[in-house]
């Protein structure tokens, strides 16, 4: 997915939010904004938005001389969800359709996103996501694919959300390779965050070779690409993965909540919709038609 | 009031919205965004935000070769409020405190603002504003000043809102000079818009000599400045006038709704608060303390 004009104001917001979050002062804010605008003026807008989102994080890091801006927040998010792990497990086990409930919860976990939000209410989101209908519902296809899959590549998104992913992996009972970022970016999960969430107990964890908050295949490691090409089934979590993989030349499932207006429009959905979207390469043109 | 880092993303949003509103295509959107960012990179941020808002309007006008982007919207807004003029008049006349009700309605009319909104619900706003308490309530001071004033300079804001202003002027029964912009900018009222609203029947209308969507005194005409200095009392409507006059060296009343986060923070109020704020030069320092 390319960069739309609406992304530009959002990039500036993200830059400002990250600078403040990382403890920058007003002079840092101005300098970061100016640096970001300089890049935006000559930006190749055929790239997916997360490539620029990564650049913004690096601009802030360089300015403030800090590497892992969201380290503590990621630890806190993981701890917060681990604290309700048993409760969530019970919700799934006592559900009429445990797999559907586990999928919904994994999408609820996608609200833990410091890229598109100032704040969020996890408890409220869990309640809502268990109740509402899917905006895009390819769950029947998901059941069929899962039935026949012998291995799954599960492309993670944020720390904390990882614990929800673990619950889904436990429920699916199919061998999973879980992919994380190779370096810190926003609150995206790295190897350490995945280990903190206990994902090593239920999956093989690999790094994808990149620190883009999404999955830009040409920036990924050979190991990741091999899994990407050969896995029977792929689950990709969150908007960043949708933005970078929605034109991928293989089928995969996107599990996400629509949090940005551009993606909502692209999918023809209102904000905060629940999405289980089965992507097939031949559907790419259909998506394009939704955006002017 | 100076420009804050938060204003930058908002400037880009405003540029994009105006370009779309005026019928620009995606190429126009990109070019306008780039042009705006070029100005923002070297902008003097000690100026009030409306100076840049004016520049944005001119960038879009130059790009699209159109002068009055909101001409039709202004006609429509004025017509829409004139259609309920009699109804509004009755609400005021049958109120326990007609003057308070007229002030509230004039602030309700301030929701007709294409600078800070995509859309608004006038009817809902009228109901809300008649019911809620003031966020800042200097109405007692307003009554006292009005009692002794022999003339009022009323600095208008948007077309359509003008009809609400007319109702307040009719209720106050003190001679009023009503100031409008000298050229089209956003949906701010010009001489033609004020005439359309029937303000010429209740006030002397003057142009302020400028097309900044606010009141930058050094850009205003001598005639306006004379009224500004000599009027017994000044009422300034809307955020744009607050942003440009909140450090003015004379007392005046700001009647507005807080629609932008920076102004809300500056005034220590939630969004969409009802404000009747008596500005005295010695209060400038107090305002500054509210913003980090």
Please report, in tens digits, the pLDDT of each residue of chain B (292 residues total): 999 999 999 999 999 999 999 999 999 999 999 999 999 999 999 999 999 999 999 999 999 999 989 999 999 999 999 999 999 999 999 999 999 999 999 999 998 887 766 677 888 899 999 999 999 999 999 999 999 999 999 999 999 999 999 999 999 999 999 999 999 999 999 999 999 999 999 999 999 999 999 999 999 999 999 999 999 999 999 999 999 999 999 999 999 999 999 999 999 999 999 999 999 987 555 555 554 4
- Within this chain, do residues B56 and B135 fall inside the same structural domain, yes or no? no
**Smallest Cα distance from A21 to chain B, Å:** 14
Q: What is the CATH number of the domain that holds B82?
A: 3.40.50.10880
DSSP state of A250: S
Residue that is written with structure tokens 């405003």 in the block: B14
- Within this chain, do residues A261 and A167 fall inside the same structural domain, yes or no? yes
What pLDDT score was predicted for residue A114?
Answer: 76
The residue ranges of DSSP E strands in A116-228, in sequence order, are 136-137, 152-155, 176-180, 204-207
Is B12 close to A16, i.e. CB distance below 8 A? no
Is B12 close to A8, i.e. CB distance below 8 A? yes
Question: Within the 4-23 window of chain A, which residues sit less than 8 Å (CB to CB) from chain B?
Answer: 5-6, 8-10, 12-13, 16
Look at residues A64, A83, A111 and tell me which one is the last residue of a structural domain: A64
Q: Encoding tokens for residue B113?
A: 């603002």
- Within this chain, do residues B44 and B100 fall inside the same structural domain, yes or no? no
Residues of B in contact with A13 (CB under 8 A): 9
Is B30 close to A6, i.e. CB distance below 8 A? no
φ, ψ for residue B258, nearest 5 deg: -80, 120
DSSP state of A97: S
- Within this chain, do residues B148 and B254 fall inside the same structural domain, yes or no? yes
Is A8 close to B10, i.e. CB distance below 8 A? no
Of B6, B10, B26, nearest to A5 by CB-CB distance is B26
Question: Within the 187-246 window of chain A, which residues sit less than 8 Å (CB to CB) from chain B?
Answer: none
- Within this chain, do residues A95 and A220 fall inside the same structural domain, yes or no? yes
Q: What are the b/e assignments for A95-110, b being 16+ CB within 10 Å?
A: beeebbbbbbbbbbbb
- Taking a C-beta distance cutoff of 8 angstroms, is the pair A68, A58 a contact? no
- DSSP H/E element including B78: helix B71-82
- Which residues have CB under 8 Å from A251's CB, separation 6+? A234, A278, A279, A280, A281
Look at residues A47, A64, A81 and tell me which one is the last residue of a structural domain: A64
Look at residues B41, B64, B87 and tell me which one is the last residue of a structural domain: B64
* Selected residue of B9, B56, B119, B288 to mutate for chain A interface (largest A Cβ count, 10 A): B9
First-to-last alpha carbon distance for chain B, in angstroms, is 13
Residues of B in contact with A8 (CB under 8 A): 12, 16, 33, 37
Residues of chain A with pLDDT under 70: 116-118, 283-292
Of B5, B10, B33, nearest to A33 by CB-CB distance is B5
Of A16, A40, A45, nearest to B37 by CB-CB distance is A40
- Within this chain, do residues A193 and A92 fall inside the same structural domain, yes or no? yes
Q: Please indicate if any CB of chain B lies within 8 Å of the CB of A37.
A: yes
Closest CA to A131 of A94, A112, A105: A105
* Selected residue of A8, A21, A42, A262 to mutate for chain B interface (largest B Cβ count, 10 A): A8
Closest CA to B163 of B229, B97, B92, B223: B92
Is residue B278 helix, strand or coil?
strand
- Within this chain, do residues B51 and B83 fall inside the same structural domain, yes or no? no
Question: Which domain covers residue A166, as residue numbers?
Answer: 73-289
Is B30 close to A13, i.e. CB distance below 8 A? no
Domain count, chain A: 2
- Within this chain, do residues B35 and B180 fall inside the same structural domain, yes or no? no
- Within this chain, do residues A79 and A13 fall inside the same structural domain, yes or no? no
pTM: 0.92
- Within this chain, do residues B80 and B107 fall inside the same structural domain, yes or no? yes
**Smallest Cα distance from A250 to chain B, Å:** 30
Residues of B in contact with A16 (CB under 8 A): 5-6, 8-9
- Within this chain, do residues B276 and B146 fall inside the same structural domain, yes or no? yes
Helices (H) and strands (E) in chain A, counts: 14, 7
- Nearest residue of A to residue B32, measured between CA atoms: A5
Is A13 close to B9, i.e. CB distance below 8 A? yes
- Within this chain, do residues B228 and B107 fall inside the same structural domain, yes or no? yes
- Taking a C-beta distance cutoff of 8 angstroms, is the pair B205, B78 a contact? no
DSSP state of A134: P
Q: Please indicate if any CB of chain B lies within 8 Å of the CB of A25.
A: no
What pLDDT score was predicted for residue A292?
Answer: 40
Residue that is written with structure tokens 């009023």 in the block: B176
Q: Encoding tokens for residue A112?
A: 């833990």
**Smallest Cα distance from B181 to chain A, Å:** 28
Would you say how long chain B is, in residues? 292
Angstrom distance (rounded) from CA B254 to CA B138 = 10
Of A6, A16, A29, nearest to B16 by CB-CB distance is A6
- Nearest residue of A to residue B45, measured between CA atoms: A30
């Amino acid at each position: 997915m390319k960069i739309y004009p609406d992304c530009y104001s959002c990039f500036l917001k993200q830059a400002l939010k990250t600078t403040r979050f990382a403890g920058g002062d007003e002079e840092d804010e101005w300098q970061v904004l100016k640096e970001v605008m300089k890049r935006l003026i000559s930006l190749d807008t055929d790239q997916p938005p997360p490539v620029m989102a990564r650049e913004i994080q690096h601009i802030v890091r360089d300015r403030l001389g800090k590497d892992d801006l969201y380290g503590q927040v990621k630890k806190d998010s993981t701890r917060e969800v681990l604290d309700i792990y048993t409760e969530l497990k019970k919700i799934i086990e006592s559900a009429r359709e445990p797999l559907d409930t586990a999928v919904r919860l994994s999408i609820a976990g996608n609200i833990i996103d410091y890229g598109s939000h100032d704040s969020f209410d996890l408890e409220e989101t869990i309640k809502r996501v268990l109740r509402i209908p899917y905006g895009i519902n390819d769950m029947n296809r998901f059941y069929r694919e899962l039935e026949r899959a012998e291995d799954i590549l599960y492309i993670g998104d944020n720390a904390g959300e990882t614990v929800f992913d673990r619950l889904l992996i436990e429920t699916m009972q199919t061998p999973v390779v879980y992919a994380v970022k190779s370096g810190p970016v926003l609150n995206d999960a790295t190897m350490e965050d995945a280990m903190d969430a206990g994902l090593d107990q239920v999956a093989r964890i690999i790094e994808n070779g990149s620190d883009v908050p999404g999955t830009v295949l040409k920036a990924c490691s050979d190991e990741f690409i091999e899994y990407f090409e050969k896995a029977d089934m792929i689950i990709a979590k969150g908007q960043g993965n949708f933005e970078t993989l929605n034109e991928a030349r293989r089928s995969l499932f996107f599990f996400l909540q629509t949090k940005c207006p551009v993606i909502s429009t692209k999918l023809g959905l209102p904000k905060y919709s629940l999405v289980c979207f089965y992507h097939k390469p031949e559907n790419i043109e259909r998506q394009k038609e939704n955006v002017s």
